[in-house]
């Protein structure tokens, strides 16, 4: 599933492809994709794209007149940009035809079709309402992070992926952040001492910014079909030697999610409760 770093690079690379382009047509090819009824999609036709934004794991396409089209790619979705003359495949859920003869399409293979879209006008609250702090924004201060932790007794892995607390971090980058902070995914948030809170707070933007750079180096200006993850330290590396200490990376299911960690570097201290 794309997470904050993937979506930041997607946002940057999609922007020059759509800004100042006018919408020629829209088509929903998978009925479950569109979650809103009003305003009707036809409202987009004739409007100019003003920008691309991101909030948490949502991608926001911004149009003239305050319309925003919000996309959540979920697990397997991706964005395709290419000539409108290419016939859409069965995996195409949605297409936006632009006045330069190009399409922006939401593609998802497989039978599940989990990617979703919303068209919203003005200040109407969308699915991004209620998301927690943006970890790359100036608002993500140590004090704000302390507030997030305050009164909670949550395992760190579960806490980091809770979109209502901090937005944009998923399974992969929660593992990477905890490795960077040298903290066990099993640790409970209320057991952290001051130094550990500072370390974890710092590791969040540091890890995400590092990942954005790595992804950008690999993709250049292209759009991804699969997330680029070959540079990660622990996630997806179960059984392989830790790049720091050589211990094989271990994997457990935590809250139903694959959690990868180094049992030595992250000093696992399995809780009794
Ligand atoms: Zn290690």
Distance 170 CA to ligand 1 centre (A): 21
Q: Residue 35 corresponds to which tokens in the numbers above?
A: 């979650």
Q: Taking the CA atoms of 109, 228, 134 and 69 in sequence, report the sign of the dihedral they define.
A: negative
Q: How far is the CA of 203 from the centre of ligand 1 (A)?
A: 16
**CA angle, corner 178, sides to 140 and 132, nearest 5?**
30
Distance, CA 248 to ligand 1 centroid (Å)?
8
Q: Quick check: bond before 138 cis, omega within 30? A: no
Q: Domain 4-121 is classified in which CATH homologous superfamily?
A: MutM-like, N-terminal (3.20.190.10)
pLDDT for the residue numbered 174: 98
DSSP 201-225: HHHHHHHHHHHHHHHHHHHTTPPPS
Q: Ligand 1 centroid vs 247 CA: distance in angstroms? A: 5
Q: How confident is the model at residue 273, as a pLDDT?
A: 39
Rounded to the nearest angstrom, the distance between the alpha carbon of 174 and the centre of ligand 1 is 16
How far apart are the CA of 246 and the centre of ligand 1, in A? 6
Would you say the C-alpha torsion 62, 59, 95, 118 has a positive or negative sign?
A: negative
What is the CA 66 to chain-centroid distance, rounded? 24
Going from the Cα of 135 to the center of ligand 1, the distance in angstroms, rounded, reads 26
- Distance (Å) from CA 235 to ligand 1 centroid: 13
Residue 159: in which H helix or E strand, if any? helix 156-160
CA of 32 to the centre of ligand 1 (A): 44
Domain spans of the chain, in order of start = 4-121, 142-261
For residue 228, report the distance from its CA to the centre of ligand 1, in Å.
22
The pLDDT score that the predictor gives to residue 150 is 96
Task: Tell me how far apart the alpha carbons of residues 163 and 45 are, in angstroms, rounded to a whole number.
Answer: 32
The domain defined by 142-261 folds into Helicase, Ruva Protein; domain 3 (1.10.8)
The alpha carbon of 178 and the centre of ligand 1 are apart by a number of angstroms equal to 12
- Cα of 158 vs centre of ligand 1, distance in Å, is 21
Positions of the chain with pLDDT lower than 70, given as ranges? 268-273
| Strand intervals (E) in 201-256 | 250-254
* CA of residue 176 to ligand 1 center, whole Å: 12
**What integer pLDDT is reported at residue 267 of this predicted model?**
82
> From ligand 1's centre to the CA of 243, what distance in Å?
7
Q: What is the pLDDT of residue 269?
A: 57
| Angle, helix 194-219 to helix 4-18, in steps of 10 degrees | 40
pTM: 0.95
């Amino acid at each position: 599933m794309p997470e904050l770093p993937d979506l930041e690079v997607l946002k940057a690379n999609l922007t020059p492809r759509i800004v100042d382009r006018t919408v020629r047509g829209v088509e929903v090819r998978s009925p479950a994709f569109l979650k809103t009824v009003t305003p009707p999609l036809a409202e987009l036709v004739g409007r100019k794209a003003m920008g691309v934004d991101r909030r948490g794991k949502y991608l926001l396409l911004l149009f003239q007149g305050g319309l925003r089209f919000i996309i959540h790619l979920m697990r397997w979705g991706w964005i395709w940009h290419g000539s409108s003359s290419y016939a859409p495949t069965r995996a195409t859920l949605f297409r936006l035809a632009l006045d330069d003869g190009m399409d922006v399409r939401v593609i998802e293979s497989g039978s599940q079709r989990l990617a979703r879209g919303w068209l919203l006008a003005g200040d109407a609250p969308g699915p991004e309402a209620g998301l927690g702090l943006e970890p790359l924004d100036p608002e993500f201060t140590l004090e704000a992070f302390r507030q997030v932790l305050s009164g909670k007794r949550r395992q760190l892995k579960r806490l980091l992926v809770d979109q209502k607390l901090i937005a944009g971090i998923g399974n992969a980058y929660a593992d990477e952040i905890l490795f960077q902070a040298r903290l066990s995914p099993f640790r409970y948030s209320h057991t952290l001492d001051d130094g550990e809170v500072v370390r974890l707070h710092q590791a969040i933007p540091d890890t995400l910014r590092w990942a954005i750079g790595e992804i950008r180096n690999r993709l250049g200006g292209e759009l991804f079909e699969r997330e680029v993850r070959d540079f990660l330290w622990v996630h997806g590396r179960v059984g392989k030697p830790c790049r720091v200490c050589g211990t094989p990376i271990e994997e457990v299911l935590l809250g139903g999610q694959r959690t990868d960690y180094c049992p030595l570097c992250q000093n696992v201290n399995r809780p009794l409760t």
